[in-house]
Chain A
Amino acid sequence: MTENSDEQGGSSLNLDRFNEMLLESTAVGLAILDPESLTIVFHNKRLGEWFSDVEDRSTVVTDLFPDIDIERLRDRMDKGRPYTTETKVRVGRREVSIALVVTMPADEDVQHLIVECQNVSKLKELEYMIESYSKMVEKQNRTLQREKDRAEKLLLNIMPRKVYEEIESFGVATPQRFDSASVLMLDFVDFTEMTISQDPVGLISELNEIFSAFDFIVERHSCERIKTVGDAYVAVSGVPEAVMDHAQNIARVALLFVRYLKRRNSQHKEQWRCRIGINTGSLIGSMVGIQKYVYDIFGPGVNLAARMEALSPPMQVTLCEDMYELIRSDFHFTDRGEAEVKGFGTKRIYSLDEAEDSATIELPPMPGHD
């Protein structure tokens, strides 16, 4: 710069004057310190605007920056590294944040320390704002997540998780065929008459309690409740995820439903008597509807379960030969002979009595029950 300036020596701008103007007009506060006493031996105009004390010739840098760690400052200077700190000063109405850097010039002839101060108030305001907005965004994210969880919980009530995940990823769920699954269908004997002759509100409340207990049993036996329609309850095993023991699971669940109702009936005035049909076979699982959608199951396997339910005596579990062959070694049955099953021809019908290992099938403790 010096050389360049010399070349321009003929210009009207005197170099010393130029340097002086630069020093006074810069937005950086500058000072030179005595390295021993740390007294300020020179400062520019900007520094004077921020620190009025600096006019006093005996001002030490620690008068301006009380937080300076002298020991660390000297250590950093010895290592030839800069020392930094910050302070706040009041300038008129404003509180100004000042960042300070102390360096030792590389030139060994100069035995002074150089102080550079910058007004970092805007930076501080921005840092504060970034932190504040991060918190706001985090808070909004938490609210969104809570809403998402709530929506997910609601949707999981009407469709299996696997189907929900498919819809979430692809926007749609394709109908799927399950070759190996079991279905349970239940409804209550004389339910319509019960609702008319009794207190309907109280009755529905009891139905709700019973279905909640069924849900509890179903969940614990790798089954899934598909839907309830009025007093009918439909559960499945092997949909939408394959389960090896789907037939045994559904049979156990059916027995537990009966056992639960028997126990309940022994303790309550209202007597709930169910019919249960179970069946094994292939079926289709699919979402139905666009705005008001529901996950449902279809196919002959489902229809046959419905026929079995219709053929079932009260408080019994009815199945036919197809499923019987699969689980005959695991449970006890009563052979009820052959019967004409609408749409399926003649089938041998059985009642499911108790599991061989019935002692191991226990009603789980129900929430809200003893």
Chain B
Amino acid sequence: MAGTMFERYGGFASVSKIVMALYDKLLDSDVTGPYFEDVDMRRLIDHQTKFVSQIMGGPASYTNEQLEQLHEHLDITDGAFAEVMMLFEETLEDFEFGSDDIQFIIRDLESRKPWIVSQDA
């Protein structure tokens, strides 16, 4: 197939829709919802859209060190991380992503878990 996954699924316009739908689920969940109270959702969705685009082979670049810096004060637990993974997978499925592509994205996110989940949680 031609192009990156980012290009195949329609670039920023599509990724932003997916990320917005994901955050609706994350806010509704009692496990993840509390993390997003008093958060500027516009900024968060913007960052997350760039980050997901990056995983899909699009522009923008976040290092794992940046991820650590962005998450370290949030005390993210294993349970919260698992919930995000589950809802992320569900959202990608909602948007009719192929199962290989879903697995690719989830595996990439899982590999970054050490920089996102708090060590002492």
Name A residues whose Cβ lies closer than 8 Å to a Cβ of B: 92-95, 121-122, 124-126, 128-129, 132-133, 136, 140
Contacts and interface: CB of A to CB of B under 8 A. Distances in A.
Contact of A125 (B27, B37, B41): B41
Given A128-B46, A140-B59, A93 B27 contact: yes
B84 to A, nearest CB: 15
Interface residues of B, number: 17
B41 A94 contact: yes
B79 interface: no
A125 B42 contact: yes
Given A94-B27, A94-B41, A122-B20, A129 B34 contact: no
Given A125-B20, A132-B50, A136-B59, 10 more contacts: A93-B34, A93-B36, A95-B41, A121-B41, A125-B46, A128-B42, A128-B46, A129-B45, A133-B12, A140-B59
A94 B38 CA distance: 8
Contacts of B86: none
A132 B42 CA distance: 10
B93 to A, nearest CB: 21
A136 B41 contact: no
A106 B62 CA distance: 55
Interface centre among B27, B42, B43 (most CB of A within 10 A): B42
The 5 closest A-B pairs by CB, nearest first: A128-B42, A132-B46, A129-B46, A125-B42, A125-B45
A93 B45 contact: no
B42 A136 contact: no
Contacts of B36: 93
Interface string B12-27: 1000100010000001
